[in-house]
A = this chain, B = another copy of it.
């Protein structure tokens, strides 16, 4: 079992992380692993939904930065991690049938179909590392929230924009805005700063994090579009089968995060 302590020391390459998943030695979070490499959210759906889903992502690029779409039936992400296998190389998968979540799996080899298409979507985990480097802590005071902002629909896919909220000091909020603006292909700059009610952020039922009763006056809430958005849209579209990474258990690519950033 690869411990997070080892990972946090940056001793683990993307290849090592994926191999550990494939061999059943890693089923925990990828947060803190293979530091400096882009991690992706995974969405696997049938080809019959692929056009509408890709269109949905195109129309909501900020929340859904598609970094790779595999050929139909092919589990290899040839661009982001040649030789990898999306059926085995993530630590943990969430499986949905008709919008209902089934127990998580550590491999989806048994479920694989010839008409599956895999979408790899940029994850905030990638720029967390740039934030940490700039002195902005990323592990605490972080939420994933539904908002009252609506995404642009495409066919059967639609739904609310989901955001990541961080509680930062005013100075950190400024730094974080600058750092994340350098990642236009990975959520980019914040879409909102300050009063959560302006975007209708649902503080009482977060997807991630404890309910928020009150926001301390000393901090600034900062909001970014979140890669959970397309997953929620696919869920509410009730596609017959959808497989995703389990939250926090992303796909580690060979792409260096710095290559995704503007200078």
- Contact surface of A with B, Cβ cutoff 8 Å: 50-51, 54-55, 58-59, 66, 68-69, 79, 152, 181, 184-185, 262-263
**Which of B59, B66, B263 is A58 in contact with, Cβ under 8 Å?**
B66
Contact present for B262 and A79 (CB under 8 Å) = no
Task: Decide if the interface of chain A is mainly helix, strand, loop or mixed.
Answer: mixed
Pairs across A and B, CB under 8 Å, 20 listed: A50-B51, A51-B51, A51-B54, A54-B54, A54-B55, A54-B58, A55-B69, A58-B58, A58-B66, A58-B69, A59-B68, A59-B69, A59-B79, A79-B152, A181-B262, A181-B263, A184-B184, A184-B185, A184-B262, A262-B262
Copies of this chain assembled into the complex: 2
- Cβ contacts under 8 Å, A152 to chain B: 79
A95 to chain B, nearest CB (A): 24
Residue of B nearest to A57 (CB): B58
A-B contacts besides A54-B55, A79-B152, A262-B262, 17 pairs, CB < 8 Å: A50-B51, A51-B51, A51-B54, A54-B54, A54-B58, A55-B69, A58-B58, A58-B66, A58-B69, A59-B68, A59-B69, A59-B79, A181-B262, A181-B263, A184-B184, A184-B185, A184-B262
